[in-house]
A and B are shown apart, each in its own frame.
Chain A
């Protein structure tokens, strides 16, 4: 494949000429880069269905827990511009949104379980009319006492699903025989997704009770299925299309279904197109977050720091319904080992019901919450033994040929941890800088620095095995241009760019001959969510499968044509090569067809130029009862060193430098992979530092807009930010030997979190273990330092 010149036209409608490359690189930019910068990229809220279109508005509960006594919409209906107001009784199908467990109503009928829970839907000709109508709807409640805190739910025994446990070795025995043990607990906080595009859906009723739905969803098939359920129609009446999603991060895996179902109910009732676009505040109030976890652990280790046993209990705050909690807990359980071989490990996972919006998927999907515990434990072991935490980490890394079986029985194959360590230690000059940090801290009373190295090992595959499947549909048109449909959603991660590259490479044509269709359930049905970092892995393979089918047919045409000429006889399929927009025979050079001509010939020879592709990840299994199996196709690895400086009086923190080395196999597109690593890391560092959510005693979320919910700005990224991809590490049995990259880098932000702890610890000369939790906001830092100082004064 020759290096293709530069950036191609992003969209069919794009009138803008592609810029000429200036030689920085020859790899294409994001599929939509030109549309993005020129402002032509259309999101659903930018779509206009004309004067017939109505605005959908949601009336949510003001109470975290209440019985609904009555709903009176009669006055509200009199307001001009109000076309419909619906409540639970108006749902023609099933009043149910639960994606896995059917415990989540679409509209609350008799009780409400969190603030913002939808009770009524308004379809109006203007936002103003809808807002006015909302004020006129009279809902009577009998208010109940909510359960808001995770600990409170635990005390009251409000478990939302059966507890899970995985155990390997003999933990009790190993703990009792350990030279040292430490026990502790850790709170990790919620995180708001803060996708720039809030939840949005436009539902257009089409003829004969069918619906065309534009949804900002990560999971078009599920959105389709849920709409069909609430409307009481068959799934073949509902098509869900996703052109692009303005950021998702897990927040639109199940919770895009809500606005989609509501818009569809209103559209069905009014027989007019209905659009719902949540305001930022409504979105932050109504939708779920990353699950907060409260974890308790005991870790046993030798005097050199080798971990002998780890006993951990994970408690998740599920919010009001199950949503994806069980799968999230499962991934948390699978990741409590992170990168470390722990021969005796027991992990319990329990999820609890609180009166808050149902917490949901968020980049990492429970793994960050699980990994935080072991990383905090190792940091404590190192402080307890007076050793360098990075050394303790290395000591406990999974081995390459032994000590390489996880607590759930999967062998850690192609372990890159040791390779990453060597590269990162050199790149970051870790030991030298660690000394410099100590020196700095000796010379400064009120400004302290800290440094930390943390690894990540992340299992790739949906842990629910059947979800590991994907489909594609490729159409070749008579001019040789190619349209690729696949089940994955483009939400910024560059999936379409990777897929386009895969299709072009497989068909041996240049990338500008390939266009990606919007994702649509009518073209590729029954897909899984674009989630679990698996978008390119699964859909890329499905696309390859479709390409293989088409190539086989085209080879047949080629052979026939060659036979006609009488030059070649008995050509075999595998010797026919697709390359450089040409099709030719490897053995007998000469007479190449252009791809385009061969396609035309195929057409006139009545050979189908359209093929579906399918893929399922092989060899996945997991025995839930036994807690053993092979839930992951492979593991992705990364490692980071971060250095921070804190002003111990104001608790102001800055990240001085971060070095990351990451394993992406043979990258499908290094620019896109680097973007995922950088963005994931910064998002993780937000969770670890400034992103905090507080609630009042009624259950109102206090941080419901960017005014008080603070994600990182351009000023908050590391002052020096070095990212390197591990080279020459092909990943066997994946599309073009690549690796998933969406989630793993998120967890490298623990290097920032623990560097902050290191700096706090330095205020007391590393003699006392500081109090610490996540996020390490300036308040947490302030109080931790204050406590250390008070303890020092009292001594």
Chain B
């Protein structure tokens, strides 16, 4: 075991590879997957921004699920190399197949050529990989699914239409390619990696990197190395590493905690393990909780949703965290755990300030429990951003109203993001609405109070005055919909 201490394994170019971290290899555990791949000669993987916004670095990772490989498009710039331990990595330059000694384009590549879907070509490998993951997972993609899956790939040349057309006209043949032919073998190899090296404890290049395979193990590390930065998706930390060159000496990476990657539907609530991806969370809530699904559908891009987790979103406690206002409004609870005990609290109580929470140094967020809307609740989510997709909110909101039988408000929660240093409730407006019915007039009055209640900042996204107007208008918008 000690010999295997500083290594990870994954499949690349059809072979299981081993990377040993340290001085000798010159590879540090905080290297991004993007930079590793480029160093390893996969120059098709481009860096366009280093923050997950452009998708030029999109690659596909395959993980095993119920004995089958599952293909996910991700931003390789947002992934630290040890996170892909036990995965297969697929890049645009490894898609083509060798037939009779000649390389033949993959069907998605051919479709893009046939539809004139590239101009300068810099974004193209990333687009190919988003199309590949779509091809692998959706048999007959609608235009709306295609757009959603490609919203995280910026192209400045084509105007996108040929890319949509190419994605629509994938050959209707069975989705067979060299990866499906090798699927069984791939799964066996990936399982073998996990069997031989279930958890990682890397100490190299002055960095300690833990990637435990069980919660028990994780909590023990948390107790002993409380200074280790917890990463649950890494979509925030990776940007800081890429762009601000921050130095982190120790990491506790939760991406190996399979036991926390679940969703569980109960009678009156839905429960999520804190390490489920946002994309999977969306699938789980689609029919049960439309307001949450809507919010998730404008959370980052498909690639980001395949990495980001609710645990990470809550743990970073950003004032503009997309899920927070709605979850607070819905009275979501979280469970925290250390080696000896569990405790649970309302999400609202957990967040105490700008990126500040009640989490203790030995604790981890393990689950999120969100009460489902009932017949007596009205729950809505809103996100306003300069651009609708793949943008951070200017103002976001979650509203939750509970009505009595006469239609009077028993409780009102109006939670706003982007209006203060943390998600905040519009308490004056809530109070004004209490025990009243949701008429246009009442809501308009409350909306004016929302306008007056906050003192937001002006920044690159919007002015303070715009934010106040938008917050007000969101409540008006709710009132108009409600009274339609």
Contacts and interface: CB of A to CB of B under 8 A. Distances in A.
Contact of B156 (A42, A194, A694): A194
B159 A681 contact: yes
Nearest to A702: B460
B439 to A, nearest CB: 16
B105 A16 contact: yes
Contacts of A678: 158-159, 161-162
A36 B121 contact: yes
Interface string A628-656: 00000000000000000001011110000
B248 to A, nearest CB: 14
Nearest to B459: A702
Nearest to A653: B388
Given A650-B470, A710-B387, A778-B384, A675 B158 contact: yes
B203 interface: no
Contacts of B453: none
Given A32-B121, A491-B120, A779-B463, A40 B44 contact: yes
B62 interface: no
B473 A246 contact: no
B156 A249 contact: yes
A247 B460 contact: no
B32 to A, nearest CB: 12
B118 A714 contact: no
A683 B159 CA distance: 8
Interface in B431-484: 459-463, 465-466, 469-470, 473-474, 476-477, 480
Contact of A19 (B48, B113, B156): B113
A348 interface: no
Interface residues of B, number: 84
Contacts of B161: 678, 717, 721
B124 A36 contact: yes
Contacts of B473: 649-650, 782
B128 to A, nearest CB: 5
Contact of A37 (B38, B113, B151, B156): B113
B154 A706 contact: yes
A280 interface: yes
Contacts of A244: 120-121
Interface stretch (A21-29, A322-330, A395-403, A529-537): A21-29
A34 interface: yes
A281 B49 CA distance: 8
Contacts of B245: 131
A712 B155 CA distance: 8
Given A29-B114, A244-B121, A786-B469, A39 B44 contact: yes
A155 interface: no
Secondary structure call for the B interface: loop
Contacts of A194: 154, 156
A39 B59 CA distance: 12
Question: Which among B54, B113, B151 has the greatest number of chain A C-beta atoms within 10 A?
Answer: B113
Nearest to B105: A19
Contacts of A494: 119
Contacts of B461: 708
A682 B387 CA distance: 14
Interface string B390-404: 111010000000000
Given A19-B110, A39-B92, A713 B466 contact: no
B50 A280 contact: yes
A675 B387 contact: no
A38 B95 CA distance: 7
Contacts of B480: 445-446, 649
A714 B477 contact: no
Interface in A638-690: 647, 649-652, 671-672, 674-675, 678-683, 690
A41 B122 CA distance: 8
Nearest to A672: B116
Interface in A285-305: none
B102 A690 contact: no
A38 B96 contact: yes
B387 A492 contact: no
Interface in B216-252: 243, 245
Interface residues of A, number: 84
B93 to A, nearest CB: 3
A33 B120 CA distance: 9
Contact of A711 (B110, B118, B156, B243): B156
B369 interface: no
Interface in A36-74: 36-43, 45-46
A248 B156 CA distance: 10
B123 interface: yes
Interface string A191-203: 0011111000000
A246 B121 contact: yes
A39 B116 contact: no
B104 A22 contact: no
A579 interface: no
Nearest to B118: A36
A694 B460 contact: yes
Interface string B145-180: 011101111111111111110000000000000000
A594 interface: no
Question: Which among A22, A36, A494, A647 has the greatest number of chain B C-beta atoms within 10 A?
Answer: A36
A32 B113 CA distance: 9
Contacts of A778: 384, 386, 394, 466
Contacts of B96: 16, 38
Given A492-B120, A702-B460, A38 B109 contact: yes
A705 B49 contact: yes
A624 interface: no
B98 to A, nearest CB: 10
Interface in A717-732: 717, 721
Contacts of A707: 51, 53, 392
Contacts of B394: 778
Interface in B86-136: 91-93, 95-96, 102-105, 109-110, 112-125, 128
A222 interface: no
A197 B43 CA distance: 13
Interface string B40-56: 00111111111101101
B50 to A, nearest CB: 6
B339 interface: no
B362 interface: no
B44 A196 contact: no
A758 interface: no
A650 B114 contact: no
A714 B114 contact: no
Contacts of A197: 46, 48, 120, 122
B389 interface: yes
A42 B160 CA distance: 22
A410 interface: no
Nearest to A39: B44
A779 B477 contact: no
A654 to B, nearest CB: 8
A17 B389 CA distance: 37
A433 interface: no
A38 B116 contact: no
A777 interface: yes
A37 B387 contact: no
A22 B128 CA distance: 19
Contacts of A717: 159-161
A484 B295 CA distance: 53
A717 B143 CA distance: 12
Contacts of A279: 50, 243
A246 B50 CA distance: 17
Given A34-B105, A38-B93, A708-B461, A714 B122 contact: no
Given A43-B46, A491-B120, 10 more contacts: A37-B110, A194-B154, A196-B122, A675-B116, A683-B156, A707-B51, A708-B392, A713-B151, A717-B159, A783-B465
5 contacts: A17-B105, A246-B121, A674-B116, A706-B51, A717-B161
CB-based closest 10 A-B pairs? A39-B44, A492-B120, A678-B159, A246-B122, A39-B93, A36-B121, A706-B53, A492-B119, A702-B460, A39-B92
